[in-house]
Structure 1
């Protein structure tokens, strides 16, 4: 499934990565789900950057997460593009940047 995600600082989370990725609201997914994806995508763009990304829901050691292969293509999008994408696919305009 293709969704809009954002990078954010993972303060207080048990993670070896300081920058994590989550789905934007309004896409039928919990924003507490983390996205496992390309490290370069996270490191080459400022925190808060929005991307369109193809993911699948998996469970790792009993924990649900969204997974995108490390070589999966991604597209950087603006806040307006993200809102339009979510409104078109999900009938709402709840994306935030």
Structure 2
């Protein structure tokens, strides 16, 4: 599968079973990258910037067997900081 450039942002959530309260999710209107999907990425995106920051990343959708699909970008890849609310 090819990679695409998409826009994501950090959000504060209390969903259980995730790593920490700040998660990265795509902005709406980027199908097939749905705003309900989680993004596997560098922890610096959630740790080093305020909640609400927008980023441009290179990513693809991963479809694990018997689990929810998620978006993945390599944690060492560069990303662009677009908006730092």
TM-score by length of 2: 0.84
Residue among 13, 17, 21 paired with 1:18: 21
Please tell me whether residue 9 in structure 1 is matched to residue 12 in structure 2: yes
- Structure 1: which 5+ residue stretches go unaligned? 80-96
Residue among 45, 56, 61 paired with 1:57: 61
Please tell me whether residue 76 in structure 1 is matched to residue 81 in structure 2: yes
Which digits, 9 at most, give the CA deviation of each residue in 1:7-66, with x for residues without a partner? 001213421221101100111121101100000121000011000000111023522000
In the other structure, the counterpart of 1:93 is none
RMSD over aligned CA atoms reads 1.8
TM-score by length of 1: 0.74
Work out the CA distance in 1 between the residues paired with 2:16 and 2:52. Answer: 17
Give the greater-gyration-radius structure (CA): 1
Work out the CA distance in 1 between the residues paired with 2:68 and 2:15. Answer: 18
- Structure 2: which 5+ residue stretches go unaligned? none
Structure in which a larger fraction of residues adopt helix: 1
Structure 1 runs of 4+ off > 6 angstroms? Answer: none
Count of aligned residue pairs for this structure pair: 80
Work out the CA distance in 1 between the residues paired with 2:69 and 2:83. Answer: 27
